[in-house]
Protein backbone atom coordinates (compact mmCIF):
# COMPACT_ATOMS: atom_id res chain seq x y z
CA UNK A 1 0.00 0.00 0.00
CA UNK A 2 1.25 3.44 -0.94
CA UNK A 3 -0.08 6.90 -0.12
CA UNK A 4 -1.58 7.40 -3.63
CA UNK A 5 -3.21 3.93 -3.52
CA UNK A 6 -4.59 4.67 -0.07
CA UNK A 7 -6.13 7.96 -1.20
CA UNK A 8 -7.49 6.30 -4.36
CA UNK A 9 -9.60 3.95 -2.21
CA UNK A 10 -11.98 6.90 -1.76
CA UNK A 11 -15.14 6.25 -3.71
CA UNK A 12 -14.28 2.69 -4.72
CA UNK A 13 -16.82 1.16 -2.38
CA UNK A 14 -14.11 -0.56 -0.35
CA UNK A 15 -13.98 0.59 3.24
CA UNK A 16 -10.53 1.20 4.70
CA UNK A 17 -9.41 -0.58 7.87
CA UNK A 18 -6.65 0.76 10.11
CA UNK A 19 -5.30 -0.62 13.38
CA UNK A 20 -2.66 0.69 15.74
CA UNK A 21 0.55 -1.23 16.45
CA UNK A 22 3.53 -0.37 18.59
CA UNK A 23 6.00 -3.26 18.28
CA UNK A 24 7.31 -5.90 15.85
CA UNK A 25 5.25 -8.99 16.88
CA UNK A 26 1.86 -7.29 16.86
CA UNK A 27 2.64 -5.23 13.75
CA UNK A 28 3.54 -8.42 11.87
CA UNK A 29 0.25 -10.04 12.88
CA UNK A 30 -1.82 -6.95 12.07
CA UNK A 31 -0.21 -6.73 8.63
CA UNK A 32 -0.81 -10.44 8.05
CA UNK A 33 -4.51 -9.85 8.81
CA UNK A 34 -4.72 -7.65 5.71
CA UNK A 35 -5.61 -4.18 6.99
CA UNK A 36 -4.93 -1.26 4.66
CA UNK A 37 -3.24 0.91 7.26
CA UNK A 38 -1.20 0.57 10.44
CA UNK A 39 -1.01 3.56 12.77
CA UNK A 40 1.82 3.93 15.24
CA UNK A 41 -0.32 6.10 17.48
CA UNK A 42 0.64 8.37 20.32
CA UNK A 43 -2.03 6.31 22.10
CA UNK A 44 1.06 4.26 22.95
CA UNK A 45 1.47 6.71 25.83
CA UNK A 46 -1.66 5.27 27.42
CA UNK A 47 -1.98 1.65 26.28
CA UNK A 48 1.73 0.72 26.37
CA UNK A 49 3.35 3.19 28.77
CA UNK A 50 0.46 3.51 31.21
CA UNK A 51 0.06 7.28 31.20
CA UNK A 52 -3.34 8.96 31.64
CA UNK A 53 -3.19 10.80 28.30
CA UNK A 54 -1.09 11.03 25.11
CA UNK A 55 0.99 14.03 26.14
CA UNK A 56 4.02 12.37 27.82
CA UNK A 57 5.25 10.26 24.87
CA UNK A 58 8.31 11.77 23.17
CA UNK A 59 9.46 11.97 19.57
CA UNK A 60 12.37 9.62 20.28
CA UNK A 61 9.99 7.09 21.82
CA UNK A 62 7.65 7.31 18.82
CA UNK A 63 10.58 6.75 16.46
CA UNK A 64 11.85 3.81 18.52
CA UNK A 65 8.50 2.01 18.34
CA UNK A 66 7.74 3.04 14.75
CA UNK A 67 11.04 1.54 13.61
CA UNK A 68 9.95 -1.84 14.99
CA UNK A 69 6.61 -1.54 13.22
CA UNK A 70 8.25 -0.42 9.98
CA UNK A 71 10.41 -3.55 9.92
CA UNK A 72 7.42 -5.81 10.51
CA UNK A 73 4.92 -4.44 7.98
CA UNK A 74 5.23 -5.50 4.34
CA UNK A 75 1.82 -4.65 2.89
CA UNK A 76 -0.09 -1.96 4.82
CA UNK A 77 0.54 1.78 4.79
CA UNK A 78 2.33 2.74 8.00
CA UNK A 79 1.49 6.14 9.48
CA UNK A 80 3.20 7.58 12.56
CA UNK A 81 1.69 10.12 14.95
CA UNK A 82 3.71 13.27 15.53
CA UNK A 83 3.65 13.63 19.32
CA UNK A 84 2.99 16.83 21.23
CA UNK A 85 4.60 19.36 20.69
CA UNK A 86 6.78 18.18 17.79
CA UNK A 87 4.81 20.11 15.16
CA UNK A 88 3.94 23.19 17.24
CA UNK A 89 7.43 24.74 17.13
CA UNK A 90 7.26 26.27 13.66
CA UNK A 91 7.04 24.70 10.23
CA UNK A 92 10.78 24.19 9.82
CA UNK A 93 11.04 22.33 13.12
CA UNK A 94 7.98 20.31 12.11
CA UNK A 95 9.71 19.34 8.84
CA UNK A 96 12.84 18.37 10.76
CA UNK A 97 10.89 16.20 13.21
CA UNK A 98 8.70 14.58 10.56
CA UNK A 99 11.78 14.03 8.41
CA UNK A 100 13.38 12.11 11.26
CA UNK A 101 10.33 9.87 11.48
CA UNK A 102 10.46 8.98 7.80
CA UNK A 103 14.26 8.60 7.71
CA UNK A 104 14.55 6.45 10.83
CA UNK A 105 11.46 4.23 10.77
CA UNK A 106 10.80 2.98 7.20
CA UNK A 107 7.27 4.36 7.56
CA UNK A 108 5.51 6.27 4.80
CA UNK A 109 3.55 9.10 6.40
CA UNK A 110 2.94 11.13 9.55
CA UNK A 111 -0.28 12.16 11.27
CA UNK A 112 -0.91 15.35 13.18
CA UNK A 113 -3.87 16.84 14.98
CA UNK A 114 -5.51 20.06 13.86
CA UNK A 115 -7.23 21.81 11.00
CA UNK A 116 -7.30 25.54 10.43
CA UNK A 117 -4.47 26.33 12.86
CA UNK A 118 -2.24 23.57 11.44
CA UNK A 119 -2.93 24.16 7.73
CA UNK A 120 0.34 26.04 7.21
CA UNK A 121 2.31 23.24 8.86
CA UNK A 122 0.54 20.56 6.82
CA UNK A 123 1.28 22.49 3.62
CA UNK A 124 4.94 22.89 4.59
CA UNK A 125 5.33 19.17 5.31
CA UNK A 126 3.65 18.21 2.05
CA UNK A 127 5.84 20.64 0.10
CA UNK A 128 8.86 18.92 1.66
CA UNK A 129 7.64 15.57 0.32
CA UNK A 130 6.25 14.30 3.62
CA UNK A 131 2.74 12.77 3.32
CA UNK A 132 0.39 13.96 6.06
CA UNK A 133 -2.75 12.37 7.48
CA UNK A 134 -4.81 15.01 9.26
CA UNK A 135 -6.83 14.51 12.46
CA UNK A 136 -9.94 16.57 13.21
CA UNK A 137 -12.68 16.44 15.81
CA UNK A 138 -11.59 15.31 19.25
CA UNK A 139 -7.86 15.96 19.50
CA UNK A 140 -6.41 14.00 22.42
CA UNK A 141 -3.31 16.20 22.58
CA UNK A 142 -5.64 19.12 23.41
CA UNK A 143 -7.36 17.23 26.22
CA UNK A 144 -6.66 19.94 28.81
CA UNK A 145 -7.89 22.72 26.55
CA UNK A 146 -11.02 20.75 25.63
CA UNK A 147 -11.77 19.88 29.25
CA UNK A 148 -11.68 16.13 28.72
CA UNK A 149 -12.50 13.52 26.09
CA UNK A 150 -15.80 14.83 24.77
CA UNK A 151 -17.77 14.50 21.55
CA UNK A 152 -17.11 17.54 19.36
CA UNK A 153 -20.36 19.01 18.00
CA UNK A 154 -19.46 22.43 16.54
CA UNK A 155 -20.35 21.69 12.92
CA UNK A 156 -19.01 24.94 11.51
CA UNK A 157 -15.65 24.56 13.22
CA UNK A 158 -15.39 20.90 12.22
CA UNK A 159 -16.18 21.65 8.58
CA UNK A 160 -13.65 24.50 8.55
CA UNK A 161 -10.94 22.30 10.05
CA UNK A 162 -11.60 19.49 7.58
CA UNK A 163 -11.55 21.82 4.58
CA UNK A 164 -8.39 23.58 5.73
CA UNK A 165 -6.48 20.33 6.29
CA UNK A 166 -7.58 18.89 2.94
CA UNK A 167 -6.76 22.08 1.03
CA UNK A 168 -3.33 22.14 2.68
CA UNK A 169 -2.57 18.78 1.07
CA UNK A 170 -3.45 16.06 3.59
CA UNK A 171 -3.92 12.72 1.81
CA UNK A 172 -6.46 11.39 4.36
CA UNK A 173 -8.11 12.47 7.57
CA UNK A 174 -9.04 10.89 10.90
CA UNK A 175 -12.37 12.08 12.30
CA UNK A 176 -12.60 11.37 16.03
CA UNK A 177 -15.65 11.55 18.29
CA UNK A 178 -18.01 13.65 16.20
CA UNK A 179 -21.71 13.05 15.45
CA UNK A 180 -22.38 10.68 12.56
CA UNK A 181 -24.30 13.27 10.55
CA UNK A 182 -21.45 15.77 10.60
CA UNK A 183 -18.92 13.05 9.74
CA UNK A 184 -21.10 12.04 6.79
CA UNK A 185 -21.18 15.64 5.53
CA UNK A 186 -17.40 15.97 5.80
CA UNK A 187 -16.88 12.63 4.07
CA UNK A 188 -19.14 13.63 1.21
CA UNK A 189 -17.48 17.03 0.90
CA UNK A 190 -13.85 15.88 0.77
CA UNK A 191 -11.97 14.21 -2.08
CA UNK A 192 -9.68 12.43 0.40
CA UNK A 193 -10.62 9.43 2.59
CA UNK A 194 -12.01 9.98 6.08
CA UNK A 195 -11.08 7.43 8.73
CA UNK A 196 -13.53 7.40 11.61
CA UNK A 197 -13.09 6.58 15.26
CA UNK A 198 -16.31 7.30 17.07
CA UNK A 199 -17.60 9.13 13.99
CA UNK A 200 -20.13 6.70 12.57
CA UNK A 201 -20.35 4.28 9.66
CA UNK A 202 -20.43 6.84 6.84
CA UNK A 203 -16.69 7.51 6.95
CA UNK A 204 -14.53 5.96 4.24
CA UNK A 205 -12.81 3.77 6.80
CA UNK A 206 -12.37 3.02 10.51
CA UNK A 207 -9.44 2.88 12.92
CA UNK A 208 -9.26 1.33 16.37
CA UNK A 209 -6.56 0.79 18.96
CA UNK A 210 -5.27 -2.78 18.76
CA UNK A 211 -5.46 -3.31 22.51
CA UNK A 212 -9.14 -2.37 22.44
CA UNK A 213 -9.83 -4.81 19.59
CA UNK A 214 -8.08 -7.59 21.49
CA UNK A 215 -9.87 -6.93 24.77
CA UNK A 216 -6.70 -5.82 26.52
CA UNK A 217 -7.99 -2.40 27.57
CA UNK A 218 -8.58 -1.21 31.11
CA UNK A 219 -11.97 -1.38 32.80
CA UNK A 220 -13.23 1.66 30.87
CA UNK A 221 -13.85 1.39 27.14
CA UNK A 222 -15.27 4.26 25.04
CA UNK A 223 -18.64 3.72 23.38
CA UNK A 224 -17.09 3.45 19.92
CA UNK A 225 -14.84 0.52 20.88
CA UNK A 226 -15.68 -3.08 19.99
CA UNK A 227 -13.60 -5.93 21.44
CA UNK A 228 -13.18 -8.89 19.07
CA UNK A 229 -11.33 -11.03 21.63
CA UNK A 230 -10.69 -11.19 25.36
CA UNK A 231 -6.93 -11.44 25.66
CA UNK A 232 -7.03 -10.07 29.19
CA UNK A 233 -8.56 -13.38 30.31
CA UNK A 234 -6.45 -15.48 27.92
CA UNK A 235 -3.18 -14.00 29.18
CA UNK A 236 -4.12 -14.18 32.85
CA UNK A 237 -5.27 -17.80 32.48
CA UNK A 238 -2.07 -18.77 30.65
CA UNK A 239 0.24 -17.18 33.23
CA UNK A 240 -1.83 -18.61 36.06
CA UNK A 241 -1.52 -22.08 34.49
CA UNK A 242 2.26 -21.68 34.31
CA UNK A 243 2.38 -20.51 37.92
CA UNK A 244 0.34 -23.47 39.13
CA UNK A 245 2.47 -26.02 37.26
CA UNK A 246 5.68 -24.50 38.61
CA UNK A 247 4.35 -24.55 42.14
CA UNK A 248 3.14 -28.12 41.72
CA UNK A 249 6.38 -29.38 40.19
CA UNK A 250 4.71 -30.27 36.89
CA UNK A 251 6.79 -27.86 34.82
CA UNK A 252 9.33 -28.42 33.45
CA UNK A 253 8.47 -32.00 32.54
CA UNK A 254 10.80 -34.53 30.91
CA UNK A 255 10.04 -33.23 27.40
CA UNK A 256 11.19 -29.76 28.42
CA UNK A 257 14.50 -30.98 29.92
CA UNK A 258 17.96 -31.64 28.44
CA UNK A 259 19.81 -34.82 29.45
Asked if 157 and 175 touch (Cβ cutoff 8 Å), the reply is no
Confirm whether residue 111 is marked as ligand binding.
Answer: yes
Confirm whether residue 233 is marked as ligand binding.
Answer: no
Annotation marks residue 176 as catalytic: yes
Confirm whether residue 226 is marked as ligand binding.
Answer: no
- Which residues are bridge partners to 136 per DSSP? 175
Confirm whether residue 10 is marked as ligand binding.
Answer: no
The two most distant CA atoms of the chain are separated, in Å, by 73
Q: Which of 36, 61, 104, 176 is catalytic?
A: 176
Asked if 21 and 210 touch (Cβ cutoff 8 Å), the reply is yes
Confirm whether residue 81 is marked as ligand binding.
Answer: yes
Radius of gyration (Cα) for the chain, nearest Å?
20
Asked if 36 and 2 touch (Cβ cutoff 8 Å), the reply is no
Gap between the terminal Cα atoms of the chain: 50
Residue set of the binding site for Mg(2+): 42, 81, 113
Residue set of the binding site: 42-43, 81, 111, 113
Catalytic residues: 176
Residue set of the binding site for 3-methyl-2-oxobutanoate: 42-43, 81, 111
Amino acid sequence: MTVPKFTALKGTGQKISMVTAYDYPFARLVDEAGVEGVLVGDSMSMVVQGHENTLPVTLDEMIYHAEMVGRAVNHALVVVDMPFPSYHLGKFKAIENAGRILKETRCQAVKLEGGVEQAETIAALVSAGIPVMAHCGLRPQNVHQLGGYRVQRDEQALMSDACAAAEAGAFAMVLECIPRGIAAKITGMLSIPTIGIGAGADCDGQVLVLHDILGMASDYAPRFVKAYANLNKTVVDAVRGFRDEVRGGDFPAAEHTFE
